[in-house]
Amino acid sequence: MPRALSGFSPKPPPALPLTRPLRACLGGLILGALMTPLAPAIAAAEDAIPEPLSLDQALTYAAGHPRVRLGTAAADLPRSPPLYLDCERLAFSHLDSEDSRSRPSVVLLAPLPAQHLEIMARFLDVLLADLSYARYNEAMAVAYIQYDRANIRRELGQYAELRVAELETAYQDVLRKRAASETSQRLTRDLLAQAMGRPGELPSDLTPPQLTLPPDELPNLDAVMAQAAEQAWPHPPAIASDPALAKDYRRLLDMELRRQALELLSRLNILKTSARYAESEAFMRDLKLDESRTLYEQEVKADLGYSMSQQTMARLHEDQVRYCRALGWAELNALQGRSLLSEPEVETTP
């Protein structure tokens, strides 16, 4: 049944095949933290946020957002960037630029599609935050086991004090990163709730969407410009009353549109190549994890925790690229006045 939540607790991962003593040691540390009860629910409302929440459902909340109701009056209010979905940096990492140009200028978009893009970006950011948490949660469990076993062997005179201290430090480092990732899970959900105009109502479960990815052959810049030119252009009252200023304003918007469209097309072209790399990296990490797990089960020296962390990191990178491709295509659709999730047009031979 739909419900509105005022808090969020991540779900515990599947239990690892631990020995009984180790399971007892980990019980209070891991499971106790993960099974923290949800905060009391807000009084149920007829339009409470669904659980689980899909992207299509989240987008329906855009129309009631204050930014949309205020229109251009709210255009200058700042928007904080996503935590994980840094598409501009992901595509142009070789430029070493601190600039953030990961979404079209709101002056080029009507308030509703601009808010749709905000919700979509926040939704995907939550999914990446969950995967980041999973990465460090897996690594933490294995790091603790390695430290615990080394500590036992130290007491038997088989391990040096320095080696045990190194493993404890590694465990504490992963524990710190896991705590930060758990905090990010809540923060990204809070930002999604705000983008939906429902601050404080944090969705626990999100349904991974079936995303619309760009075609292999992207439209050319002239085609995008021709489609976008048909859209209504906003004119501030002081400018609209002066024909000369209105003409200059339109020229300025055309130049800004061209810049935005060119950057989006360039980013999508780069991310298409990045997607192939991310896919091959994830496949390699899967094989590496299988190898490490086999050696671990045979009690041969193997860094299973590192392999697990690297495999989850590869999956995180693969999803980052896929989400940025989908978001970039949605932004390109928005510039052309189309639905964010519109499928690419397929040219047919007459």
74-114 tens-digit pLDDT: 777 878 889 998 888 888 876 655 554 445 555 678 889 99
pLDDT band for position 41 (cuts 50, 70, 90): very low
Tokens of 26: 């980990």
Average pLDDT over residues 202-225: 93
Q: Does the pLDDT value for residue 32 go beyond 50?
A: no
Query: Tens of pLDDT along 178-204?
Result: 999 999 999 999 999 999 999 999 999
pLDDT surpassing 50 at residue 21: no
Q: Which two three-digit tokens encode residue 204?
A: 């626990």
Q: In this model, does residue 232 exceed pLDDT 80? A: no
Say what the pTM is: 0.78
* Band of pLDDT at residue 24, cut at 50, 70 and 90: very low
- Counting residues of the chain whose pLDDT is more than 70, the rounded percentage is 76
Overall average pLDDT of the 270-284 stretch: 85
What pLDDT, on the 0 to 100 scale, is given for residue 284? 85
**Of the ranges 27-41, 58-72, 129-143, the best mean pLDDT one:** 58-72
User: Which residues have C-beta within 8 Å of that of residue 313, sequence separation ≥ 6?
Assistant: 135, 285
Where is average pLDDT lowest: 31-45, 78-92, 131-145, 276-290? Answer: 31-45
- Range in 68-82, 176-190, 224-238 with the lowest mean pLDDT: 224-238
Q: Is the pLDDT of residue 150 over 50?
A: yes
pLDDT at position 33 over 60: no
Residue 20 has a pLDDT of: 35
Name the burial class of residue 7, with classes exposed (0-12), middle (13-18) and buried (19+) by CB atoms within 10 angstroms of its CB. middle
> Which range has the worst mean pLDDT, 12-16, 215-219, 240-244, 279-283?
12-16
SS3 per residue for the chain: CCCCCCCCCCCCCCCCCCCHHHHHHHHHHHHHHHCCCCCCCCCCCCCCCCCCECHHHHHCCHHHCHHHHHHHHHCCCCCCCCCCCCHHHHHCHHHCCCCCCCCCCHHHCCHHHHHHHHHHHHHHHHHHHHHHHHHHHHHHHHHHHHHHHHHHHHHCCCCCHHHHHHHHHHHHHHHHHHHHHHHHHHHHHHHHHHHCCCCCCCCCCECCCCCCCCCCCCCCHHHHHHHHCCCCCCCCHHHHCCHHHHHHHHHHHHHHHHHHHHHHHHHHHHHHHHHHHHHHHHHHHHHHHHHHHHHHHCCCCCCHHHHHHHHHHHHHHHHHHHHHHHHHHHHHHHHCCCCCCCCCCCCCCC
Structural domains in the chain, sorted by start: 53-70+80-90+107-335 (1.20.1600.10)
Q: How far apart are CA 121 and CA 117, in angstroms?
A: 6
Does residue 326 surpass a pLDDT of 80? yes
Q: What is the pLDDT of residue 279?
A: 84
User: Residues 304-322: what's their mean pLDDT?
Assistant: 81
- Residue 3 has a pLDDT of 40
